[in-house]
Amino acid sequence: MNKINNYEEQCAFQEILKIIGGKWSMSIIYILFSGKKRFNELQRTVPHINTRMLVKELKNLAEYKIISRKVFATVPPTVEYSLTEKGKKLEPIINDFYNWGVDNLYEYPGK
């Protein structure tokens, strides 16, 4: 009854992780749960990320329609990022994931 564990499922898993398993993706999505954010806001909120990485991740997430990018033709330019419906569906999952981590990982201080 358990169709888990076949080779194709594993490959699918790896594809999924390639998209949102990166170093920064989850952090960015996590931040966007609280609403749309501008580029600089994101950069300030995600610890240690740099411009290039943030641009790259945002582009990637937008490509898969997890986030949407809205440009306002103002001076200076304004760009807003927000979650799409797909992205919003991740909220409970990522929250569970985060909570699991806090509950189960943090009693191990040392590397």
Partner DNA sequence: CGGAATCCGCGTCGATACTG
Partner DNA sequence: CAGTATCGACGCGGATTCCG
Residue 65 has φ and ψ, to the nearest 5°, of: 60, 35
Position among 38, 39, 45, 52 found at the interface with a copy of itself (CB under 8 A): 45
Q: Which is nearer to a copy of itself, 46 or 79 (CB)?
A: 46
When asked if residue 93 is in the footprint of DNA (CB under 7 A), the reply is no
The least CB distance from residue 73 to a copy of itself, in Å, is: 28
79 DSSP β-pair partners: 71
When asked if residue 69 is in the footprint of DNA (CB under 7 A), the reply is yes
Quick one: which segment of 11-19, 50-58, 75-83 binds a copy of itself (CB under 8 A)?
11-19
Task: Please state, as a whole number, how many other Cβ atoms lie within 10 Å of the Cβ of residue 98.
Answer: 12
Q: Which residue's entry shows tokens 């194709």?
A: 8
Q: Which is nearer to a copy of itself, 77 or 97 (CB)?
A: 97
Window 36-55: residues binding DNA (CB under 7 A)? 38-41, 48-53, 55
Q: Which amino acid is at 22?
A: G
Mark residue 35 as left, alpha or beta (left: phi above 0; alpha: psi -120 to 50; beta: remaining).
Answer: left
